[in-house]
Amino acid sequence: MENYKAILRSKDKGSNKSLLSKGLVPGIIYGKGSEATSIAFENKTLNKLMHSGSFYSKIIDIDVEGKVEKILPKQLQYHPVTDKLIHFDFLRVQEDTKVTVEIPVVFLNQETCPGLKKGGVLNIVRRLVELSCNANKIPDSVEFDLKETEIGDAIKISNIHLPEGVKPTIEDRDFVIATLAPPTVEVEEAKTEETTEEEKEGATDDQEKSADPKEKTDDKKDDSKQDSKQDSKQESK
């Protein structure tokens, strides 16, 4: 495991503002019955640490001027205007330290899932689940196999196999992780068909309406022709 080098801060190291201006990010390590230790990371080192994957759920070894500390990242603070990282809090841990972490849920065999092959939609309610475990037993992820999941099925925390010693922090209910919802295409097609029928009916009504005035006009023309013929006959007499 890679060690990330940190700088031990003392009073003569300057204020947080001066550290930030030098490309350093201040922070603290706390916990395990010891006093909080003020440290700082070079900005590039901390960015590398943050992008190493599973940042908030991974035990990291940091080297504080020759002393290696095992830590779990707990909080990052950003500047409200510039959005730059300005402070961090790390929890000092041992292997048997009880920790609470958020772990991603991975769904396996989506390509062979019968419900998805029928057009169902995987509606993910929780992409992360909060788990409680010892620091040395933090899983990288928890998995659920979709190979037998059908439309209408609900995937709950009880359906997910958790490693020994790992349990959800929510214990009073069997909460939903995801559902396999029916396809929405059928509903949309039905709506389209209804709209098409309405449009057809509307078009028919319009044709009938447009036809009526024309018929009336033709009737008037015929009547006028007949009247003119009668007038001509009377004049000839």
Superfamily for the 3-93 domain: Ribosomal Protein L25; Chain P (2.40.240.10)
Nearest to 70 by CA among 100, 40, 102, 96: 96
Domain range list for the chain: 3-93, 99-184
Per-residue pLDDT, 229: 47
Structure-token pair, residue 211? 């036809």
Whole-model pTM: value is 0.69
Per-residue pLDDT, 208: 52
Q: Distance between CA atoms of 160 and 175, rounded to whole angstroms?
A: 11
Phi, psi dihedral angles at 225 (to 5 degrees): -65, -45
132, 169 Cβ separation under 8 angstroms: yes
* Secondary-structure percent of the chain, ordered helix, strand, coil, rounded to 5: 35, 35, 30
Q: Distance between CA atoms of 117 and 32, rounded to whole angstroms?
A: 50
137, 58 Cβ separation under 8 angstroms: no
Burial zone of 176 (CB within 10 Å; 0-12 exposed, 13-18 middle, 19+ buried): middle
Q: Distance between CA atoms of 187 and 87, rounded to whole angstroms?
A: 50
CATH number of 99-184: 2.170.120.20
Look up residue 5 and give its DSSP letter: E
Per-residue pLDDT, 52: 74
Per-residue pLDDT, 173: 96
In sequence order, the β-bridge partners of residue 63 are 5, 68
Q: In a structure prediction context, what are the per-residue pLDDT tens digits for the chain, which is 237 residues long? A: 567 889 998 765 567 888 888 899 999 999 887 889 999 999 888 888 888 778 889 899 999 989 999 999 999 999 999 999 999 999 999 988 999 999 999 999 999 999 999 999 999 999 999 999 999 999 999 999 999 999 999 999 999 999 999 999 999 999 999 999 999 755 445 555 555 555 555 555 555 555 555 444 455 445 554 554 454 444 444
Q: Distance between CA atoms of 114 and 147, rounded to whole angstroms?
A: 7
Q: How far apart are the first and last CA of the chain?
A: 124
